Structures are given as C-alpha cells and as structure tokens.
Structure 1
Amino acid sequence: MRSTGAWGSTVLAVAALVSGCSSTTEEPPATTGGETTVAIRIAGRTVQPTNGRAEARVGQPIVLKVDSDTADELHVHSDPAHTFAVEPRAGQEFRFTVTVPGQVEVELHEAGKTVTTLQVRP
C-alpha cells in the first residue's frame, strides 16, 4: 500500500468536506417572488418599530401593515417616492415596490420618526 503523506491527507479531508456540503438538504433563501412585510403599530405618539431594519429586492413587493389610533402619513424615501395616508384604524395595508437598490427610509411624517430602513438589493 502506498502512503499519501500529510499533503495527500489534507486533500482528502478537504474533498470530504466539500462533498459533505453539497449533500445538504437545506434550500437557499428565495431571491424572487414573495414579499417583504413590515408590521407597524401607532399608539398616540409611540411607534413600533422605530429605526427597524428590513431587507428586500428590487421589484419585490413590500407591504406595510399598519394599525393606528391616529392619522399620519407614511413617506417612503425611494425612487420613485411613495406617500400613504394613515387613518386612525386597524388593518391598513400599503403596497409598493422599489426600482433602485440602496437604503430606503420609511418615515412617519407627523410623528417625525423613522419606522424602518429597507436595504434593497439588486
């Protein structure tokens, strides 16, 4: 029997690791389809979330689900920009897409608070 030496053992170990990784049953995260949803609750001058973070892809639907006890206005600082009138009621949904990658702030205008920042990827 021929010895492979230390270098040969290393190559075999790396090959075993690589083949082990390729047999995983986990699927990669979806990059198309689906939607990004941000739940927003406004109670008086309190907004949840405040300064939150979310991720989306260019062209992917983004849904803001809002429950509020006061009127206000959501501004989405994207290209194109979006503005949504918030009414004092539960169960409001605002849908939009973003066409340019980058950071997009969603701001509650009257309250003067950033609800979330979307990281929009190509």
Structure 2
Amino acid sequence: MKAYQWLAVVAATSAAVACGTQPSRRVAGPVVEITIARGSINPTTASLTAKVGQPITLRVNSDAVDELRVHSAADHRFVVEPEIEQVFSFRADAPGDVAVELRHLNRTVATIEVQP
C-alpha cells in the first residue's frame, strides 16, 4: 500500500471515530435517607421526583429487621437488617407514582413521582 493510500485510510478512520456520539452521562437520581430506630421511622411520606430509568437509592440505618417494598411497574423488595449504612437501588421503568413502604411497620416512607 502506498503512503498516500495509507494516509487516506487513517484520515477516514479518524473522521468516522470523531463523528461518533458522545457517551451519555448518567444523571444521579434521588436518594432517600431512611432511619428506623425504636419503632420510629424518618422520613415518613417524603415526596420526591425522578425520571424514568434514573437510579433511585435508598440508604437505610436500622435497629430492626424489616422489609422495604417498592410498588412500581416492577415491584422490588429489600430485606432491611439491624445495621447501619445499608444501600439499596432500583430504577423505575415507567412514569407514575412509586410508593416505598416498610412492611412490618406498615408505613409509607416515600412517594416518588416518576416523570417521562
């Protein structure tokens, strides 16, 4: 292959790579800080918003076993242990309201309005 042909191939390849799409940045989603202590919960009935597909993080400090239930198009369940700094994450796949509840304490922790 002659030098000018090789340069043409390199130039074409470089142009094709340069025209590619930029990597998409993931936008951080909401974080719900949950504390369960001596039968009390904080927060209760918090309201948040998120976008479809955005990660939603639940950070839990608890002194008791319980179960977090996320009611959305695809329900999620997370076992809460009597530990600090537990982290659970999920993504809402469809617009609408998503309720986050504690099963044993029978309380709503948060409602997340998921927008398109």
Shorter-chain TM-score bucket reads 0.7 to 0.9
Q: Which TM-score applies when normalising by structure 1?
A: 0.73
Which of 105, 108, 114 is matched with 2:108 structurally? 114
What amino acid does structure 1 have at the position aligned with 2:36? Answer: I
Structure-1 separation of matches of 2:93 and 2:47: 19
Identity of matched residues, % = 45
Equivalent residue, structure 2, for 1:70: 64
Q: How does 1:11-50 map to 2 (within 5 A)?
A: 33-50=27-44
What amino acid does structure 2 have at the position aligned with 1:43? Answer: A
Equivalent residue, structure 1, for 2:89: 95
Over aligned residue pairs, what C-alpha RMSD do you find? 0.8
Q: Gapped runs of 5+ residues in structure 1?
A: 1-31
Structure-1 separation of matches of 2:59 and 2:49: 16
Structure-2 separation of matches of 1:42 and 1:53: 18
Equivalent residue, structure 2, for 1:6: none
Q: Gapped runs of 5+ residues in structure 2?
A: 1-25
Structure-1 separation of matches of 2:107 and 2:38: 13
